[in-house]
Amino acid sequence: MRIIISPAKKMNVDEDTLEYMDLPVFLKDACRIMNWMKSLNLEEAKALWGCNDKLAEQNFERFQNMDLNRRLTPAILSYEGIQYQYMAPAVFEDRMLSYVQEHLRILSGFYGVLRPMDGVTPYRLEMQAKTVIDDIHGLYDFWGNRLYREVSDDSHIIINLASKEYSKCIEPYLSSDDRFITCIFGEIIGEKIIQKGTFAKMARGEMVRFMAEENITKPEEMQKFCRLGYHFLKSASTDTEYVFIK
């Protein structure tokens, strides 16, 4: 069973908490993307990122001085978004780190697929960015089905805790043998189940922590999740969509 999650825009360098274990599997492709990013001027990079001047200057400088083999941080500690804050991997027990290293995969526009303990450097590049690398337009086409192939394992079970932007890298390539289960974390408003971005990110992080703590190996065991006020709603769930409400 594999679990997929999104990366975060905010990243840090932490060489002290844990040592990284390996380099990303698609490092050569990340080099191709890096070299293209370095060819952009500041205004072109800012337009690609759609961010303010301060963030553009910071990330432009990062790419200009980037080294994919030095000052690396384990991916799971490098990302600082809400999902990662609620996952709190810095205080994982060894058995929990072993669990996520085996089961969890982080999707990335820049690195493709990351194992939690892969060494990474801070970058800014969303999967939906309008890149043109070696005449390939966009990162979805650049990566093609390679991310799906890397994420898949013998179980053919994928737990989707990623945003739509990133799950779109996987879904088009699913086969009839695959079981792809998307988790929805929402509230009942009127007659609809509404998922709110920030709360969903918090719950996704808590779900990863829960699965690591409980050593979840079967999707059905996830239905016991009851954190942040959420509980499993069987009546709204299906074999391919698990709904949790609060």
Which phi and psi angles does 87 have, rounded to 5°? -70, -40
Regions in the chain scoring below 50 on pLDDT:
none
**8 Å CB contact between 2 and 105:** yes
Which pLDDT value is given to residue 197? 87
Report the first-to-last Cα separation within the chain, whole angstroms: 26
Closest CA to 74 of 118, 108, 36: 118
Q: Which residues contact 211 (CB under 8 A, 6 or more apart)?
A: 3, 99, 103, 222
Cα gap 213→215, rounded to integer Å: 6
Q: What angle is formed at CA 122 by the lines to CA 107 and CA 167, rounded to 5 degrees?
A: 15
Which pLDDT value is given to residue 106? 98
Which pLDDT value is given to residue 212? 98
Alpha-carbon distances, residue 71 vs 15, 120, 188 (angstroms): 7, 8, 45
Q: What share of the chain is helix, strand, coil (3-state, %, to 5)?
A: 40, 20, 40
Which pLDDT value is given to residue 133? 95
Which pLDDT value is given to residue 128? 95
Which pLDDT value is given to residue 23? 98
Q: Where are the domains of the chain?
A: 2-245
Alpha-carbon distances, residue 146 vs 25, 107, 111, 151, 172 (angstroms): 11, 11, 12, 9, 12
Which pLDDT value is given to residue 237? 97
Residue 239 burial class via C-beta count within 10 angstroms: exposed 0-12, middle 13-18, buried 19 and up: exposed
pLDDT in tens, 31-71: 999 999 999 999 999 999 999 999 999 999 999 999 999 99
Which pLDDT value is given to residue 141? 97
Which pLDDT value is given to residue 166? 97
Partnered with residue 113 across adjacent β-strands are 107
pTM metric for this prediction: 0.96
